[in-house]
């Protein structure tokens, strides 16, 4: 417990005026309202598919969600989950843990508890609203938005697939330096792909129309921690040390569907095609999560969309990727832990099977802002605290976060670096304009 006491405080809605406060007050209720609207809009579809039973289920789900929104907006205590889904007991144990935290903030509630906890809890309750109400229990309220993001990024997807297929034509002839350059490019596309819902290139609104590769040079100054060289050394050394028995394995802990997912798949394909890795394991979400996160359905849907696209290089990508899955050199997994409220420092205890699985990897790539928050516990770290320290003993394997900053927590900066940006750009931690490629060797 002594180590816990030494950690900085959690971000929380109790800090008025903070980004957490603003999110809980405005953004989360907006998301709930949109979810309710989505259900309303699908009423006819539910009727056509399931008759009256579908409409009744929709009404029950909406009333559950309206109640949830009211609890949130009036800062009610967080209540135990009453469903019987497989993770309910773990959530309720976590609520007890929050109750017993002796931080003097009383009963856990929407604004008083850690932001990470209540935000995750909201998505879990949205899931319960549907899952408890058959026959609409498999309806993903965020599906439309994810598909829309994919279709709106068509031009960027085409540009990226075309670039990549051209690259594959002569990948065997590339020397080490050229391979390194290509890896760095695709890492950056995957990093900036995390802007997803935001504009894609710095300062431009409708950048999905332009090639995602064009503006990379200009965006280098926005990468606050750039450990790409370390990733390269790790991968090249792993390749050199490789024997027949020990495959080089890279894991990608996915974030958003849409363009970001395509950028991650291209990166994964590059790792195999360049022989920097022999297998890639993807980790997605087992329930709809944080609006745009990738579920198994989104993952398969995206590959199918590419396959059947009316564009030669897009469909070539889709066909190859389906092949990778069939051959088993790509593996898709989901684990309940990724949609629990726990930060990753408790993975070894809460999900020892997942931790043991990650330990088999040569490199873990964590995509996105929420994964960064969970890596570092969503706390008010001093900017200069080493990333290794902020990971708070989460070291299953060498890992790297590819994240654009959309929440106000950041570790591992150089002295003065954060303060300097803050002076000219107060929104730097939440506007998605800055990013990190931040590595930890797990030593
Ligand atoms: O914009 C803030 C936010 O909703 C955070 O709650 C969360 O950390 C993030 O966006 C989700 O971003 P990402 O998809 O990169 O994890
Ligand atoms: Mg996300």
| Domains of the chain from N-terminus onward | 10-141 (1.20.930.60), 154-440 (3.40.50.10880)
- Distance between Cα 369 and ligand 2 center (Å): 7
pLDDT in tens, 227-260: 999 999 999 999 888 876 789 999 999 999 999 9
- pLDDT at position 271 is 98
pLDDT in tens, 382-406: 999 999 999 999 999 999 999 999 9
- pLDDT at position 411 is 98
- pLDDT at position 196 is 62
- Distance between Cα 143 and ligand 2 center (Å): 13
Residue 111 pLDDT > 70: yes
The finding on whether 194 has its CB within 6 A of some atom of ligand 1 is yes
Question: Hey, whose CA ends up nearest to atom 13 of ligand 1?
Answer: 369
Per-residue pLDDT band at 210 (split at 50, 70, 90): low
d(CA 283, CA 295): 9
Helix, strand and coil percent figures for the chain, each rounded to 5: 55, 10, 35
Per-residue pLDDT band at 6 (split at 50, 70, 90): confident
Per-residue pLDDT band at 122 (split at 50, 70, 90): very high
- Read off the pLDDT of each residue in 364-377 and give the average, rounded to a whole number: 98
Measured in whole angstroms, how far is the alpha carbon of residue 140 from the centre of its chain? Answer: 17
d(CA 169, CA 332): 27
Residue 429 pLDDT > 50: yes
Question: Hey, whose CA ends up nearest to atom 12 of ligand 1?
Answer: 369
Q: Residue 252: which H helix or E strand, with range?
A: strand 249-253
340: which residues sit within 8 A by CB, 6+ positions away?
87, 90, 91, 94, 120, 350, 351
- pLDDT at position 212 is 86
Mean pLDDT of the chain: 93
d(CA 300, CA 316): 15
pTM of structure: 0.96
pLDDT in tens, 84-93: 999 999 999 9
Give SS3 for 254: coil
Listed residue (274, 249, 258) closest to 364, CA to CA: 249
- pLDDT at position 215 is 85
Give SS3 for 364: strand
The finding on whether 370 has its CB within 6 A of some atom of ligand 1 is yes
The finding on whether 260 has its CB within 6 A of some atom of ligand 1 is no
Ligand 1: atom nearest CA of 403 is 15
């Amino acid at each position: 417990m002594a180590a816990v006491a030494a950690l900085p405080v959690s971000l929380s809605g109790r800090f008025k005026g903070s980004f957490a406060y603003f999110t809980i007050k405005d953004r989360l209720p907006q998301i709930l309202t949109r979810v309710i609207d989505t259900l309303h809009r699908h009423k006819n579809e539910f009727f056509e598919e399931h008759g009256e039973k579908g409409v009744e289920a929709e009404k029950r789900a909406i009333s559950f969600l309206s109640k949830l929104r009211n609890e949130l907006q009036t800062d009610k205590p967080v209540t135990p989950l009453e469903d019987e889904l497989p993770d309910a007991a773990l959530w309720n144990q976590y609520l007890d843990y929050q109750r017993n935290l002796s931080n003097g903030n009383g009963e856990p509630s929407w604004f008083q508890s850690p932001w990470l906890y209540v935000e995750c809890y909201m998505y879990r309750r949205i899931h319960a609203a549907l899952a408890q109400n058959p026959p609409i229990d498999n309806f993903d309220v965020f599906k439309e938005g994810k598909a829309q993001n994919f279709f709106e990024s068509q031009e960027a997807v085409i540009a990226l697939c075309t670039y990549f297929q051209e690259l594959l034509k002569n990948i065997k002839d590339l020397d080490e330096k050229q391979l390194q350059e290509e890896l760095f490019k695709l890492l950056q596309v995957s990093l900036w792909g995390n802007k997803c819902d935001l504009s894609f290139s710095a300062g431009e609104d409708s950048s999905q129309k332009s090639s995602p590769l064009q503006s990379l040079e200009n965006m280098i100054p926005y990468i606050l921690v750039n450990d790409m060289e370390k990733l390269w050394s790790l991968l090249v050394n792993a390749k050199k040390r490789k024997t027949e028995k020990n495959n080089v394995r890279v894991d990608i802990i996915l974030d958003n569907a849409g363009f970001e997912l395509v950028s991650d798949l291209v990166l994964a394909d590059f790792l195999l095609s360049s022989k920097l890795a022999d297998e890639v394991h993807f980790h997605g979400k087992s329930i709809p999560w944080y609006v745009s996160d990738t579920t198994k359905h989104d993952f398969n849907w995206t590959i199918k969309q590419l396959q059947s696209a009316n564009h030669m290089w897009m469909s070539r990508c889709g066909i190859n990727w389906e092949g990778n899955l069939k051959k088993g050199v790509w593996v898709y997994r989901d684990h309940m832990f990724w949609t629990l409220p726990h930060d990753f420092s408790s993975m070894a205890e809460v999900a020892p099977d997942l931790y043991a699985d990650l330990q088999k990897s040569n490199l873990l790539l964590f995509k996105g802002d929420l994964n960064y928050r969970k890596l570092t516990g969503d706390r008010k770290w001093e900017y200069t605290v080493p990333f290794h320290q902020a990971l708070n003993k989460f070291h299953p394997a060498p890992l790297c976060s590819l994240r654009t900053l959309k929440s106000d927590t950041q570790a591992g900066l150089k002295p003065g670096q954060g303060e300097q940006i803050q002076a000219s750009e107060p929104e730097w931690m939440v506007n998605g304009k800055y990013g990190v490629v931040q590595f930890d060797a797990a030593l």
